[in-house]
Amino acid sequence: MPDYRFIVSTGVLAATLGTIAGPATAADKPASQADIGVRSKAVLDVDGYRFRDANGNGRLDAYEDWRLPAAARVADLLPRMTTEQKAGMMLIDTLNAGCAGSLDGTPARDFVQAQKMSRFILRNVARAAADPCDGSVKPGRGGLAVTPRQLAEFHNAVQALAEAEPLGIPVLFKDNPRNHYNSDPRFGISGSAGAFTEFPREAGIAAAALGTGDMSPVASLAAVMGAEFPAVGLRGVYGYMADLATEPRWSRVSESFTENAGLGAGIMRALVLGLQGGPLNPHSAVALTLKHFPGGGPQEQGLDPHYSFGKQQVYPAGNFAWHLKPFQAAIDAGVASVMPYYGVPVSVTHEGVTYDQTGFAFNRQIVTDLLRNKLGFRGYVNSDTGIINERAWGLEGKTVAERAAASINAGVDVLSGFSSNKVITDLVAAGLVRQTRVDEAAGRLLLEQFAMGLFDNPYVDAARADGTLGSAAHRAAGMTVQKQSIVLLQNAALETGRRLLPLAPGQRIYTMGMGKADVERHGHTVTDGNYTQPGTRPSAAGHDLAIIRVQVTNPMDVTLAYRTKGADTGADPAKRNPRTGQPWGAEDPCSLAPAVNPRCVDDLGLLFGGALPWEVNNISFTTMAASASWRMTPSLADIRAVMNEVGAARTVLAIYFRQPYVLDAASGVRSAGAILATFGVSDAALMDVLGGGFKPQGKLPFALARELDAVLRNEPDAPGYPAADTLYPYGFGLGY
């Protein structure tokens, strides 16, 4: 695929644009009249065609001409832009809708008109019933809940603000993936599906793909997401995660697909082809921002680099190249954007290059030399959120301006969670960031809006949003993949000779961790074992079998209490990081360099999930049951009691593996008659598999260790375990 290079008015080569937008051939140009949408600007009639007069000068300029290749339109627009406008392109921050989708009470006008921004993260939950506007609901960090139509109307209102600006540059909204069954949503990590169609979580998509032997589950997800995201104005996704799940203790395994680089590469390629149609073009539904380069899986001690104590990334098994494979597949397919991770590479040498120990987004060796020059990436680089004000690992003693300069000069094109235009323009004026570098970044970013047709019609039909999200056809597709994702790990024979699953008809079933309605719909008599008051759980004795759905979370009432200098948390001398020998808060920037870090990064608590750092190792059922920051529902004590009452051989455990938990021998759960691995499925999907209406076909996307010691011994960059340490290997799954 050829590159198309353009020269800005200064005569400096600004960017290489062809690969991300595709070749400038007739196939890239609309065969007929492009769709034109305006609110305040005029429509021009030229040569029998209609064009948007984006700058309002009454004549057709090259950047307004949809017949031209995207790169040519960028080349025309860039010299028309001020440094301030170009700097605004390099910013992205959260912009949530106000109540009922209003602009009121939001920073929309400041972001668009003053900061000149054109990229935003939209986090409101979309659901059938919006939050009221009477003040009775306090908006969280994700804003108030709105209907899909209100979300679309808000998007259109922001687009109208942008259209009214001198050059009429449209905006692009992004968010994290929303089309997944998520029982424990976290701000900035993985939101609630709300009205969006629910597929299984990412590991479930991988399990389903292994079971079908092809990428049809990924294609199904992409088709539904490609309809639902644009319906509300979301044309970009902060995703998907190409990180390999080689460190089970890392809490973000819950958003990862697999430990296997080959499978991960196939999924990434399928996502780019399914959502973008390859390199960006007018038919691209959603532009991906693949993360977290060069692969966030190998976190030292399994800790999260959102937090100051988890900033180090290590490769003791020498598998740096293994973790690059999914990124290379996406780059080859034409992925629009890549996001570097927060982490700091520790003692990492790859192909003769030893990487500087600074966060990846500040590391030119990673962002430019490896990603662009070695792997051939031609899109734009979007930083992870908060690297400038908060998570500047390796640059904790630098000022905000110095961090911004370091990241931009390393090759990052857009700073996430940052909205200060002046910081960038001041850096240019001071000669700390070259004008040509700003031109280069702005050109790459503009290309996305041109390639996807946003410069011609950025608006959506808000009236269609409610009917598009969660339509019957979409829900059916999501339900099919949920069923495909379920993995049968164990299915013992009963004394009658038949196996416990599929369920025999007309059983007396005791349930916990799930509702009874879906079980009753299959013709069974059900006792609901869920309870709220201690001592009120009904006995399971006398039932034919028990079905227990098990979920493990890191309870926010515990983890949000963490404080960097808290006497019983980050500054507790009795709780020390084994790597440093210091209390866990010692590496917070407010401790390392208080003069430039007046606030502690981790004083919001463990907002992004994960266990308390001194309990991160506790991923076996026995250790989780004894930990404050792991909560098993039902409790391990209740699971054991039910197994004792009904008989272990007649107990079905359906375990939601948000991480590759260890079913250790001491916990007793291995003695259950049937064990299933789920990755975010509804009761209805589970019961269709348990009842035999849909035969189990999912395969494990990661290995499960036999005991916790195997996890602690294993290298964090290495997939799987030695055979003697493996309970269930990668790719395992039984059928009926």
Tell me what percent of the residues of the chain surpass a pLDDT of 70. Answer: 96
DSSP 544-578: SEEEEEEEEE--HHHHTT--TT-TTTTT-TTSB-T
Residue 384 a catalytic site member? yes
The DSSP secondary structure of 619-667, one letter per residue, reads -BHHHHHT-TT-EEES-HHHHHHHHHHH-GGGEEEEEE-SS--B--GGG
pLDDT at residue 448 in the model: 99
Q: Label residue 12 by pLDDT band (50, 70, 90).
A: very low
pLDDT at 3 over 50: no
Q: Are 174 and 121 in contact (CB under 8 A)?
A: yes
pLDDT of residue 21: 56
Question: Could you tell me if 107 and 143 are in contact, meaning their C-beta atoms sit under 8 angstroms apart?
Answer: no
Question: Would the pLDDT of 211 be above 60?
Answer: yes
- Residue range 715-726: mean pLDDT, rounded: 98
Give pLDDT, residue 27: 41
Q: Give 91-142 pLDDT, tens digit per residue.
A: 999 999 999 999 999 999 999 999 999 999 999 999 999 999 999 999 888 8
Fill in the DSSP letter of residue 586.
Answer: G
Concatenating the DSSP letter of every residue in 651-709 gives EEEEEE-SS--B--GGG-GGGSSEEEEESS--HHHHHHHHTTSS------SS-EESSHH
pLDDT in tens, 519-535: 999 999 999 999 999 99
Instruction: Say which DSSP state 357 is in.
Output: S
Which two structure tokens, joined as six digits, stand for 123? 């986090």
Overall CATH class of domain 485-553+633-728: alpha beta
Rounded to a whole number of angstroms, the distance between the first and last alpha carbons of the chain is: 47
Determine the Cα–Cα distance for residues 69 and 17; give it in Å rounded to an integer: 11
Q: How far is CA 682 from the centre of its chain?
A: 21
Which strands, in side-by-side order, build the sheet including 337-340?
380-381, 337-340, 287-293, 234-237, 172-175, 119-121, 91-94, 415-416
Contacts of 730 (CB under 8 A, 6+ apart): 258, 259, 260, 700, 701, 702, 703, 719, 720
Rounded (10°) angle between helices 216-231 and 261-271: 40
Taking the alpha carbons of 387, 393, 395, 396 in that order, is the dihedral positive or negative? positive
Task: Give CA angle at 328 (323, 333), nearest 5°.
Answer: 145
pLDDT score, position 22: 52
Euclidean distance between CA atoms 726 and 720, whole angstroms: 8
Side-chain-side CA neighbours of 449 within 13 Å: the count stands at 27
pLDDT in tens, 38-91: 999 999 999 999 999 999 999 999 999 999 999 999 999 999 999 999 999 999
What's residue 184's pLDDT?
A: 86
Q: Is the dihedral of CA 19, 25, 31, 37 positive or negative?
A: positive
* Separation between Cα atoms, residue 307 and residue 310, nearest integer Å: 5
What amino acid occupies position 701? P
What distance in Å separates the CA atoms of residue 436 and residue 413, rounded to the nearest whole number?
A: 12
Q: Give tens-digit pLDDT for 546-584.
A: 999 999 999 999 999 999 999 999 999 999 999 999 999
Indicate the domain borders of the chain: 5-76, 485-553+633-728
| pLDDT at residue 11, rounded to an integer | 31
Give per-residue pLDDT as tens, 159-181.
999 999 999 999 999 999 999 99
| Mean per-residue pLDDT over the chain, rounded | 95
Single-letter code of the amino acid located at 274: G
90 neighbors 414 (Cβ within 8 angstroms)? yes
Q: Of residues 65, 93, 384, 588, which has the active-site annotation?
A: 384
Cα–Cα distance, 5 to 18 (Å, whole number)? 7
Q: Is 585 helix (H, G, I), strand (E, B) or coil?
A: helix
Amino acid, res. 221: L
Q: What is the largest CA-CA distance in the chain?
A: 85
Residue type, 547: I
Distances (CA, A) of 661 to 50, 248, 257, 553, 640: 58, 7, 15, 12, 17
Cα distances (angstroms) measured from residue 157 to each of 38, 40, 51, 539:
12, 12, 21, 57
Nearest to 183 by CA among 540, 554, 442: 554
C-beta of residue 691 within 8 angstroms of C-beta of residue 297: no
Residue 19 has pLDDT above 70, yes or no: no
Q: Give, to the nearest 10 degrees, the angle between helix 472-485 and helix 216-231.
A: 140
Q: What is the pLDDT of residues 480-505, one digit of tens each?
A: 999 999 999 999 999 999 999 999 99
